[in-house]
């Protein structure tokens, strides 16, 4: 396989490839079967400290801290998009925290996973430090992380109460008597002063969220403003109870950024990502999210797809509809993953092949929350498979036709040679034998008579061998039937072992199949003679599965797996199998349970 150091997925078009390389987010593509990294962008190289060539020589688990490898493997068994925070290791051995999100994509004609690995080390460190700080603070002052202010209608600070002065924008004594706009600036302070004035004027409480700059950075706070009645019962001032929510806001901001990155990545995938609510009716799909590529893939407006629960049922190809709906119903009932290949009818009427997978996401208590799935257009793959099948079928048809012509020509040549031998050499040798018989009767010299007898024996052996050759070339008993021809073949005395023939078949094969069966049995017995060192062989002919089965067994030395493989110059087994295949049958060769070799031949009753 060609090694691509560019790291750009070949399965994507130019626009996607450029986006892959140009995104500032670290991106990796790996083979889910082997774990081998197939592609990486510049951001990934920078994050992990490797060159692109070095990354492409690693497995995905080489980047993961060994402590978190089991969690990665567990997550890898899940279907659909995945997200997890764990520790990775850079080339220099340092550990970084990453938030990894992944989804399945096609890469170079095979399934792969695209991973977004965002360095969240600072966030995790900040969260860890924040948790430690909060823990220490709780140990010191309980759960108080609030500041209580009192303001008049103009926003002037009348009082400050807190046990954590780190939450104040200035020392307590410098805040008293100053307005909010003076403490936090006009842009931030004016909305707060307006809220304070409204509370005092209306007597109704309000909740506001705001941010301020403290020595350790920007903090966010959530404040509850409530009126404080004066001596006459009318509000004159307002309480301002502020709680620091910086950690929550930062986490939400980071989550939004991560979600946006993931959404951007999903929308660039060459597949449709779908999130569905569990549905009581498996024919209705309740969509919560559908990536925009669905509009291009299905040929319908995105709003029509999302707002019509019956869309997917209607879009399914009629021949696939019930099967797919039944599979969806099983997944809804059992919670098992959905994984089906089916056809849909696009908006323009074209048929599209889809590979759809989805997995049920549950909450912490195990209750179903949503189905997350990926739908991939595999029409091009299916068309390529169909074209390949047609090509293979044509090649097989041409091979069979060629074999048929060769076998037919072979049998015709056998018959011609047999006729020539019968008409000339056999007749001539028979005539010679008759002349020798006459000579023997007239010969008075004993020594000459002995030589004549030797000549008679030689002529007799030659005639016998020629007649055997005639039988092997074109056995006349085939006209009577397969069993008769096999019995005559077995009765000849040149085998060197005993042959028992059992005929249980009621079916008589057509002549062309009969001839093929006879040749295969002939070759099988020849193999026994050449290789088996057998004392006995058995041939059984019987009806089986709409055709005729012939078993040829021997008690010889048996056959090894190596002998079953084709070898140069040894065409016996191959020719047997090809003859049977040409007739729509088969030949299976293996060891006989009692010892020796077993050859099973099956041919259909009709060619």
Q: Mean pLDDT across the stretch 261-287?
A: 80
d(CA 519, CA 482): 10
d(CA 554, CA 535): 8
Compute how many other C-beta atoms are within 10 angstroms of the C-beta atom of residue 588. Answer: 11
For 148, the enclosing helix (H) or strand (E) is strand 146-152
Q: Residue 28 pLDDT > 70, yes or no? A: yes
Note the CATH architecture for domain 140-250: 2-Layer Sandwich (3.30)
What whole-number percentage of the chain has pLDDT above 70?
84
Note the Cα 109 to chain centre separation in Å.
11
Residue, of 134 and 371, whose pLDDT is higher: 371
Asked whether the domain spanning 475-604 has the same topology as the one spanning 273-377, the reply is: no
Contact 212, 184 (CB under 8 A): yes
CA distances from 137 to 129, 134, 246, 539 (A): 12, 5, 15, 94
pLDDT at 5: 35
Q: How confident is residue 425, by pLDDT bands cut at 50, 70 and 90?
A: low
3-class secondary-structure state, position 527 = helix
Q: Residue 142 pLDDT > 50, yes or no? A: no
d(CA 1, CA 48): 26
Closest CA to 376 of 355, 357, 358: 355
CA distances from 8 to 4, 11, 20 (A): 8, 9, 7
With a threshold of 0.85, does the pTM exceed it?
no
d(CA 535, CA 69): 63
Tokens of 265: 């990545």
3-class secondary-structure state, position 230 = coil
CA distances from 187 to 99, 220, 230, 379, 580 (A): 35, 15, 30, 57, 92
Residue, of 603 and 476, whose pLDDT is higher: 603
pLDDT by residue (tens digit) across 195-217? Answer: 999 999 999 999 999 999 998 89
Question: Given its phi and psi angles, is residue 349 left (phi above 0), alpha (psi -120 to 50 degrees) or beta?
Answer: left
Compute how many other C-beta atoms are within 10 angstroms of the C-beta atom of residue 144. Answer: 13
pLDDT at 4: 37
| Residues contacting 89, CB < 8 A, separation 6+ | 63, 64, 65, 95, 96
| Residues contacting 55, CB < 8 A, separation 6+ | 7, 28, 37, 40, 44, 45, 48
Q: How confident is residue 6, by pLDDT bands cut at 50, 70 and 90?
A: very low
Helical H segments across 423-528, by residue range: 427-442, 446-473, 482-491, 511-527
| Residues contacting 168, CB < 8 A, separation 6+ | 147, 160, 162, 175
Q: Mean pLDDT across the stretch 117-144?
A: 73
CATH topology of domain 14-119: Beta-Lactamase (3.30.450)
Reduced 3-state DSSP string for 267-286: HHCCCEEEEEECCCCCCCCE
pLDDT at 258: 84
Q: Residue 492 pLDDT > 50, yes or no? A: yes
Q: Residue 262 pLDDT > 80, yes or no? A: no
Tokens of 4: 């691509």
Q: Mean pLDDT across the stretch 109-113?
A: 86
Mean residue pLDDT across the chain = 84
d(CA 342, CA 324): 7
Lowest mean pLDDT among 157-161, 276-280, 435-439: 435-439
Q: Residue 15 pLDDT > 80, yes or no? A: no
Q: Residue 351 pLDDT > 90, yes or no? A: yes
Which DSSP string corresponds to 98-122?
Answer: EEEEEEEEEETTEEEEEEEEEE-HH
3-class secondary-structure state, position 247 = helix
| Residues contacting 447, CB < 8 A, separation 6+ | none
Highest mean pLDDT among 218-222, 275-279, 396-400, 487-491: 218-222
Q: Mean pLDDT across the stretch 209-232?
A: 92
Say if domain 475-604 classifies as CATH 3.30.565.10: yes
pLDDT by residue (tens digit) across 510-535? Answer: 888 888 899 899 899 989 999 999 99
d(CA 453, CA 456): 5
Question: Given its phi and psi angles, is residue 242 left (phi above 0), alpha (psi -120 to 50 degrees) or beta?
Answer: beta
CATH of 273-377, one of 2.40.50.140, 3.30.470.10, 3.30.450.20, 3.40.50.261: 3.30.450.20
Tokens of 287: 């969509």
Domain boundaries, the chain: 14-119, 140-250, 273-377, 383-470, 475-604
Note the Cα 603 to chain centre separation in Å.
37
Which DSSP string corresponds to 416-437?
Answer: HHHHHHIIIIIHHHHHHHHHHH
Q: Residue 468 pLDDT > 70, yes or no? A: no
pLDDT at 2: 32
pLDDT at 497: 94
pLDDT by residue (tens digit) across 559-574? Answer: 888 777 765 545 678 8
Lowest mean pLDDT among 349-358, 390-399, 465-474, 485-494: 465-474
Residue, of 536 and 278, whose pLDDT is higher: 536
Residue, of 240 and 74, whose pLDDT is higher: 240
Residues in the chain: 607
Residue with structure tokens 């069993």? Answer: 483
pLDDT by residue (tens digit) across 310-325? Answer: 888 899 999 999 999 9
Residue with structure tokens 């079916």? Answer: 507
């Amino acid at each position: 396989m060609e090694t691509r150091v560019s790291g750009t997925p070949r399965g994507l078009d130019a626009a996607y490839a450029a986006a892959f390389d140009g995104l500032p987010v670290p991106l990796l593509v790996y083979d889910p079967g082997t774990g081998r990294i197939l592609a990486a962008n510049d951001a990934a190289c920078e994050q992990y400290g490797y060159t692109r060539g070095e990354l492409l020589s690693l497995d995905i688990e080489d980047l993961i801290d060994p402590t978190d490898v089991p969690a990665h493997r567990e997550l890898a068994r899940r279907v659909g998009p995945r997200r997890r925070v764990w520790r990775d290791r850079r080339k220099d051995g340092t550990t970084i925290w990453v938030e990894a999100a992944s989804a399945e994509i096609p890469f170079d004609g095979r399934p792969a996973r695209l991973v977004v690995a965002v360095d969240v080390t600072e966030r995790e460190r900040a969260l860890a430090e924040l948790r430690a700080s909060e823990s220490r603070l709780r140990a010191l002052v309980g759960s108080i992380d609030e500041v209580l202010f009192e303001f008049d209608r103009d926003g002037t600070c009348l009082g400050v109460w807190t046990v954590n002065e780190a939450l104040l924008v200035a020392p307590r004594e410098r805040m008293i008597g100053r307005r909010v706009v003076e403490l936090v600036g006009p842009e931030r302070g004016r909305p707060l002063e307006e809220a304070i004035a409204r509370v005092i004027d209306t007597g109704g409480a309000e909740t506001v969220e705001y941010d301020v700059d403290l020595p350790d950075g920007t903090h966010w706070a959530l404040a509850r403003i409530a009126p404080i009645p004066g001596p006459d019962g009318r509000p004159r001032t307002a309480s301002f109870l502020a709680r620091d929510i910086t950690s929550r806001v930062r986490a939400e901001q980071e989550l939004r950024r991560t979600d946006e990155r993931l959404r951007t990545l999903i929308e660039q995938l060459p597949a449709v990502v779908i999130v569905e609510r569990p549905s009581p009716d498996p024919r209705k799909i309740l969509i919560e999210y559908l990536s925009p590529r669905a509009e291009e893939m299905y040929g319908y407006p995105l709003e029509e797809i999302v707002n019509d629960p019956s869309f997917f049922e209607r879009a399914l190809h009629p021949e696939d509809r019930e099967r797919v709906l039944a599979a969806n119903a099983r997944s809804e009932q059992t919670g098992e993953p959905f994984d089906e290949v089916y056809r849909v009818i696009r908006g323009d009427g074209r048929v599209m092949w889809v590979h759809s997978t989805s997995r049920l996401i549950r909450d912490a208590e195990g209750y179903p929350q949503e189905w997350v799935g990926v739908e991939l257009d595999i029409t091009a793959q299916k068309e390529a498979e169909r074209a390949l099948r047609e090509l293979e079928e044509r090649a097989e048809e041409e091979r069979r036709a060629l074999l048929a012509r060769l076998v037919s020509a072979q049998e015709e040549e056998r018959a011609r040679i047999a006729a020539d031998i019968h008409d000339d050499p056999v007749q001539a040798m028979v005539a010679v034998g008759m002349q020798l018989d006459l000579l023997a009767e007239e010969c008075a010299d004993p020594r000459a008579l002995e030589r004549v007898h030797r000549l008679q024996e030689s002529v007799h052996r030659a005639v016998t061998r020629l007649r055997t050759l005639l039988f092997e070339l074109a056995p006349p008993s085939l006209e009577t039937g397969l069993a008769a021809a096999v019995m005559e073949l077995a009765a000849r005395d040149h085998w060197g072992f005993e042959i028992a023939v059992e005929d249980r078949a009621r079916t008589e094969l057509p002549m062309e199949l009969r001839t093929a069966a006879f040749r295969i049995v002939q070759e099988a017995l020849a193999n026994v003679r050449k290789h088996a060192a057998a004392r006995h062989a058995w041939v059984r002919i019987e009806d089986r599965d709409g055709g005729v089965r012939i078993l040829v067994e021997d008690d010889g030395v048996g056959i090894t797996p190596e002998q079953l493989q084709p070898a140069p110059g040894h065409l016996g087994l191959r020719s047997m199998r090809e003859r049977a295949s040409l007739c729509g049958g088969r030949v299976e060769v293996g060891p006989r349970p009692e010892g020796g070799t077993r050859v099973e031949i099956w041919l259909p009753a009709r060619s």
